Amino acid sequence: MNKTYQKRPYYLNKITPYIGADLIKVLVGQRRVGKSYILLQLMDAIKAKDKRANIIYINKEENEYDAIVNYRDLIVYVEKRAAKGSSNYLFIDEIQEIENFEKALRHLFSKKTFDLYCTGSNARLLSSEIATGLSGRYIEIPIHALSYQEFLRFHRLKSGEGALLKYIRYGGLPFIANLELTDEIVYGYLQSIYNTIILKDVVARFKIRNVNFLNRLLEYLADNIGSLVSANRISDFLKSQKIKTTPNIVLDYLSYLSSSFIIREVNRANIKGKKIFEINEKYYWEDLGLRNSLVGYKAVEIGQMLENLVFSHLSRLGFKIHIGQLENKEIDFVAEKDGQKIYIQAAYLIGDKTTKDREFGNLLAIPDNYQKIVVSMDKLIGRDYQGIQHRQIIDFLQNDKLL
């Protein structure tokens, strides 16, 4: 546990109010977004307040914990290390690697002896097992790749177009702060992370045989950021590439990929009737660096990647996000939190009247008074247009208080 790290106070501030609370704290997110180091940050915060705190740490990605295979092993290991007369804190990293882990959590929780924290990289396993076995006894805290502000701090960069383009090109996995920012070095590292996610969290977890199909599906999603897609459309495309599949198989594979957090599904909703449409979703990437390591960085796709950045920022801030549908008009993001709502359009540049009419016009057609924002990369942002805010992407990404 003696590791150095850069602090991520945004998450520490979110989790600290639950320290000592009678809840299991579950940190979820894609592999390598920094969940382990946030646990270390929490442990140090606890030890700073309580010198006698007994901290038990298990990291299932390290060989020394290989003997903990199932929930019985976990209970025996933990109970042997419990300390009487001290507060006991249990931290388990990548808990989904322990068979029937929820039984151990339920047992340890019932003893009221441990303050429990765990991380996981598989949404389906965690949500189904924990929700079933521990309903009402846990709090889930999503952990994301570095925000733009964190990226600047980790890489010791000043905000500006150059830093933003590095962020878009290489993404926000924390470890790349230790690497030279070149395509060869960073994408080599990211390819190893991509393979780990695919092989451990998707192929092995869901017993997938056709790995080539899985990769082709991800390449399709990488090339279609911000586009409405459907299982039928994907299936037809893959068939055109001589890959046999069916819409049902596509849907299964999309759910597997979403469960690993590598991609995020966003549904469409009718703005007036609030009806959720069950077909034609959009998919965004947790980390653009991983996406670019798969299909390459192309400057002509900057508009798609900018839209992904807007989604990631909203997601990190805890908004519930939909794609808005208003008759024949589409609103890129409808973001809701704390009873408030924000409508957002994302565009590369507002360089001509047609683009301006589309981006601002779609928002003007919405018949309510909630906040409306157009986000773009324009360097010179003019006045807001008919009550609609126009924000430069760099400023937008550094604003944690949109409401």
402 assigned to some structural domain: no
Burial class (CB within 10 angstroms; exposed 0-12, middle 13-18, buried 19+) of 386: exposed
352 assigned to some structural domain: yes
Last residue of a domain, one of 142, 174, 202: 142
Distance CA 222, CA 10 (A): 29
Distance CA 303, CA 159 (A): 19
Tens digit of pLDDT at every position of the chain (403 positions) = 567 889 999 999 999 999 999 999 999 999 999 999 999 999 999 999 999 999 999 999 999 999 999 999 999 999 999 999 999 999 999 999 999 998 999 999 999 999 999 999 988 666 666 767 677 789 999 999 999 999 999 999 999 999 999 999 999 999 999 999 999 999 999 999 999 999 999 999 899 989 999 999 999 999 999 999 999 999 999 889 888 899 999 999 999 999 999 999 999 999 987 777 767 899 999 999 999 999 999 999 999 999 999 999 999 999 999 999 998 999 999 999 999 999 999 999 998 888 999 999 999 999 999 999 999 999 877 778 899 999 999 999 999 999 8
152 assigned to some structural domain: yes
Distance CA 101, CA 328 (A): 48
1 assigned to some structural domain: no
pLDDT for the residue numbered 119: 95
Are β-strands 263-270 and 276-285 bridged in parallel, bridged antiparallel, or unpaired?
A: antiparallel
Q: For position 90, which CATH number holds?
A: 3.40.50.300
The parent domain of residue 21 ranges over 9-142
221-230 pLDDT, tens digit each: 999 999 999 9
Both tokens assigned to 102? 């929820």
Total structural domains within the chain: 2
Last residue of a domain, one of 105, 127, 142: 142
pLDDT for the residue numbered 2: 60
Asked whether residue 189 falls in the same domain as residue 280, the answer is yes
403 assigned to some structural domain: no
Asked whether residue 95 falls in the same domain as residue 175, the answer is no
Evaluate whether 258 touches 265 at the Cβ level (below 8 Å): yes
254 assigned to some structural domain: yes
Both tokens assigned to 99? 């068979």
pLDDT for the residue numbered 262: 97
Asked whether residue 192 falls in the same domain as residue 235, the answer is yes
Asked whether residue 264 falls in the same domain as residue 373, the answer is yes
Asked whether residue 223 falls in the same domain as residue 259, the answer is yes
Distance CA 151, CA 157 (A): 8
Last residue of a domain, one of 92, 107, 142: 142
Asked whether residue 130 falls in the same domain as residue 163, the answer is no
Sign of CA pseudo-dihedral 205, 210, 215, 216? negative
87-121 pLDDT, tens digit each: 999 999 999 999 999 899 999 999 999 999 999 99
Asked whether residue 181 falls in the same domain as residue 266, the answer is yes
pLDDT for the residue numbered 276: 79
Three-class SS of residue 345?
A: strand
Evaluate whether 232 touches 246 at the Cβ level (below 8 Å): no
pLDDT for the residue numbered 31: 95
Asked whether residue 111 falls in the same domain as residue 181, the answer is no
pLDDT for the residue numbered 127: 66
Chain centroid to CA 111? 33
Asked whether residue 86 falls in the same domain as residue 154, the answer is no
122 assigned to some structural domain: yes
Asked whether residue 168 falls in the same domain as residue 81, the answer is no
Asked whether residue 303 falls in the same domain as residue 161, the answer is yes
2 assigned to some structural domain: no
Asked whether residue 184 falls in the same domain as residue 227, the answer is yes
pLDDT for the residue numbered 125: 64
pLDDT for the residue numbered 243: 86
Distance CA 335, CA 342 (A): 5
